[in-house]
Amino acid sequence: MQSANICPGCQHHLRFNAANAEPQSEGVPAMRIEGSIRHPGRGEQCEYCVVISITNEQGEKIARQVVGVGALQPGEHHNYSFSVDVFPARRRG
């Protein structure tokens, strides 16, 4: 992201105060989903796959990415959160 000072994935700084840096505005939360999955209780380990798919308004796929895979043991559950933040694009001079 050209406009980000902090990486949205790892939360590390990408840029520090540069001489001609414009003030960084905060991202606007556009969407947030939280949920959890539980082991179905059939007595053996089960596997899961977390997939994110992005389409445009015509329904054309822009991106599809597996962001995580894992396993659940009997009695185990995992919590997940998904968010989309919108940032103004930094103008190039």
Domain that holds residue 9: 1-93
- pTM greater than the 0.75 cutoff: no
Buried b (16+ CB within 10 A) or exposed e, 27-44: beeeeeeeeeeebeeeee
Q: Which residue has the higher pLDDT, 17 or 7?
A: 7
How far apart are alpha carbons 37 and 72 in whole angstroms? Answer: 9
- Residue that wins the pLDDT comparison between 3 and 21: 3
Which pLDDT belongs to residue 36? 96
Confidence at residue 1, expressed as pLDDT on a 0 to 100 scale: 53
pLDDT digits (tens, 9 = 90+) for 31-71: 999 999 999 887 899 999 999 999 999 999 999 999 999 99
- CATH (domain of 75): 2.60.40
Number of domains observed in the structure of the chain: 1
Using the CB atoms, write b or e for 75-85: b if 16+ within 10 Å: eeeeeeeeeee
